[in-house]
């Protein structure tokens, strides 16, 4: 499945992205693998739920699950899965299994080591796999929130976390104006996240997010947000060390699991995947992982689909910093007019949330690639907000269609030929090397167009 190409070497001096000796697949294959994994986590956790309820054998609850286990298990119990899922969900799962079965690299190499889903209606759900063929360790969060739920829950409520970048980086005493602007956004004491995402990952606190869904597309009531948290853009305090000690920190648990697997499987690339809510959680966790495990020779990769905005400008600045240092590769895949990637947002608040990384936008007959990150002027920020407000209004009634998982897979498949020619490291080379040579005073704007294709 993974048509590989060697990354290009970049000799650009200290502080800039450097060469990665790792061999990475094309944009198409990285995006497709992320899409399949993001859906695969849903099927696995649903099957495990049926096993806990006595409807399926408990073999699937025993970890690790070796290569070939899942396809045999699903085929043996396909009738039970049909009864356990709604018709539309079963059809989607069946199509996904067909894709999975045709992918020999997945079937012959994938082993599931960790699945966190026992308390799936209150906590985030994820799995961690290795693939002996692709030489990867993959962390994938489940996303089970519909587009309609996101509209209901699109409150601009922010919670802060200690900035993980400060473990490795510090401000320069002789920084240029451009460096100072980047440091102001990337090296703050705190990073701002959507409160619900912060609570999912860092603290065992009540989440303002809807309860995870048992089936794709199921509508559930949205919990009421406590009155003190309803202020748009409100800054929330970081819990004290005593409070943190009494709450389970999912990020630390995941980092330890990754560490153990990296010890057992040296040389494996580290990936983060997820769809919708899962994509946002993956981005946040990938930043933590890039600080702890990422190197210029072996960066952490995060490829997510249809993700909402995980954090504010400071979080975007942190991602930009890690990308520039060559510790993190980040690609977000969005359908044009998908509402969820535009949320949460507020046209009138300065504490807005934003996307980051290289964005692959999928159109009915083409695609565009843009880099999102770095310092932006006030006008650029305001212009972006007005543009997003217009898109929100235009796609309001069509949000479910453009967020549909099947449409993402269909558009990716239609663009296979063109996207297979491109690689993420080439995009970073244009952003951090070629553009800096042409415009040395400003190496990255808020949005930089890298490619456009119309078929």
Q: From the first residue on, what is the mean pLDDT of each consecutive set of 10 residues in the chain (455 residues)?
A: 41 40 84 88 87 92 89 79 67 64 67 91 89 94 59 62 91 76 81 87 54 34 32 40 56 96 96 93 97 96 94 90 94 89 64 86 93 62 52 54 79 94 93 65 59 83
Instruction: Name the token pair of 434.
Output: 């070629």
Q: What is the end-to-end Cα distance of the chain in Å, rounded?
A: 24
Instruction: Name which of 282, 299, 279, 278 is nearest 290 in CA terms.
Output: 299
Residue 91 placed within a domain: no
Q: What is the DSSP string of 72-104?
A: HHHHHTHHHHHHHS-HHHHHHHHHHHHHHHH-H
Integer-rounded Cα Rg, in Å, for the chain is 21
SS3 235: strand
Q: Which residue has the tokens 């212009």?
A: 383
Measured in degrees and rounded to the nearest 5, phi and psi for residue 338 equal -70, 125
277 in a structural domain: yes
What angle do helix axes 27-52 and 69-76 make, rounded to 10 degrees?
50
Let me know if residue 79 belongs to a domain: no
Task: Look at residue 407 in the predicted model and tell me its pLDDT.
Answer: 83
Q: Which domain holds residue 211?
A: 4-35+111-454
User: What is the reported pLDDT for 174?
Assistant: 78
Q: What is the pLDDT of residue 216?
A: 34
Residue 239 is predicted with a pLDDT of 45
Q: Does residue 435 belong to any structural domain of this protein?
A: yes
- CATH number of the domain where residue 217 is located: 3.40.50.1820
Q: Where are the beta strands (DSSP E) in 50-189?
A: 110-116, 126-131, 136-141, 158-162
pTM of the model: 0.81
Residue 250 resides in a domain:
yes
Is 300 inside any structural domain?
A: yes
Query: How crowded is the C-beta side of 271, counted as CA atoms within 13 Å?
Result: 27
- How many domains is the chain partitioned into structurally? 1
Residue 48 lies in a domain: no
Identify which of 33, 112, 79 has the alpha carbon closest to the alpha carbon of residue 333. 33
CA dist., res. 312 & res. 447, Å (int)? 15
pLDDT at 249: 87
CA angle 427, 430, 431 (to 5 degrees): 90
Sign of dihedral through CA atoms 201, 207, 208, 209? Answer: positive
The partner residues of 158 in beta bridges, in order of sequence, read 194, 235
DSSP string, 334-371: EETT-SGGG-S--TT-SS-EE--EEEEEEETTEEEEEE
CA distances from 324 to 16, 56, 175, 179, 436 (A): 5, 48, 16, 12, 12
Q: Is residue 228 part of a domain?
A: yes
Handedness of CA 65, 47, 94, 276 (dihedral sign): negative
pLDDT value of residue 398: 57
């Amino acid at each position: 499945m993974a048509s590989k190409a060697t990354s290009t070497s970049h000799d650009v001096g200290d502080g800039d992205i450097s060469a990665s000796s790792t061999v990475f697949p094309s944009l198409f294959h990285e995006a497709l693998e992320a899409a399949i994994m993001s859906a695969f986590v849903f099927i696995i956790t649903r099957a495990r739920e049926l096993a806990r309820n006595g409807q399926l054998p408990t073999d699937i609850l025993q970890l690790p699950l070796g290569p070939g286990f899942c396809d045999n298990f699903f085929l043996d119990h396909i009738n039970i899965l049909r009864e356990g899922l709604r018709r539309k969900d079963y059809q989607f799962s069946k199509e996904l299994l067909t894709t999975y079965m045709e992918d020999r690299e997945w079937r012959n190499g994938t082993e599931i080591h960790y699945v966190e889903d026992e308390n799936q209606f209150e906590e985030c759900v994820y799995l961690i796999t290795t693939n002996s063929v692709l030489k990867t360790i993959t962390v994938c969060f489940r996303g089970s929130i519909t587009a309609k739920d996101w509209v209901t829950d699109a409150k601009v409520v922010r919670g802060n976390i200690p900035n993980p970048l400060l473990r490795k980086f510090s401000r320069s005493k002789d920084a240029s104006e451009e460096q100072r602007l980047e440091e102001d956004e990337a090296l703050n004491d705190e990073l701002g996240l959507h409160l619900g995402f912060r609570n999912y990952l860092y603290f065992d606190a009540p989440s303002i997010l809807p309860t995870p869904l048992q089936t794709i597309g199921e509508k559930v009531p949205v919990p009421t947000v406590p009155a003190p948290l309803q202020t748009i853009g409100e800054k929330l305090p970081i819990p004290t060390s005593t409070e943190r000690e009494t709450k389970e920190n999912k990020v630390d648990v995941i980092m330890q699991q990754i560490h153990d697997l990296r010890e057992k499987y040296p040389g494996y690339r580290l990936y983060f995947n997820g769809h919708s809510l899962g994509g946002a959680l993956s981005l946040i966790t990938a930043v933590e992982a890039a600080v702890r495990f990422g190197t210029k020779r072996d960066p952490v990769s995060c490829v997510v689909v249809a993700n909402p905005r995980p954090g504010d400008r400071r979080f975007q600045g942190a991602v930009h910093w890690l990308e520039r240092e060559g510790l993190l590769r980040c690609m977000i895949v969005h359908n044009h007019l998908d509402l969820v990637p535009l949320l949460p947002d507020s046209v009138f608040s300065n504490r807005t949330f934003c996307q980051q990384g290289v964005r692959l936008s999928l159109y009915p007959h083409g695609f565009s690639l843009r880099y999102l990150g770095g310092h932006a002027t006030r006008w650029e920020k305001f212009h972006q907000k007005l543009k997003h407000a217009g898109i929100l209004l235009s796609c309001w009634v069509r949000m479910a269609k453009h967020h549909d998982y099947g449409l993402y897979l269909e558009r990716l498949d239609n663009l296979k030929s063109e996207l297979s020619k491109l690689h993420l490291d080439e995009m970073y080379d244009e952003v951090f090397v070629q553009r800096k040579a042409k415009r040395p005073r400003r190496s990255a704007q808020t949005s930089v167009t890298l490619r456009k294709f119309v078929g």
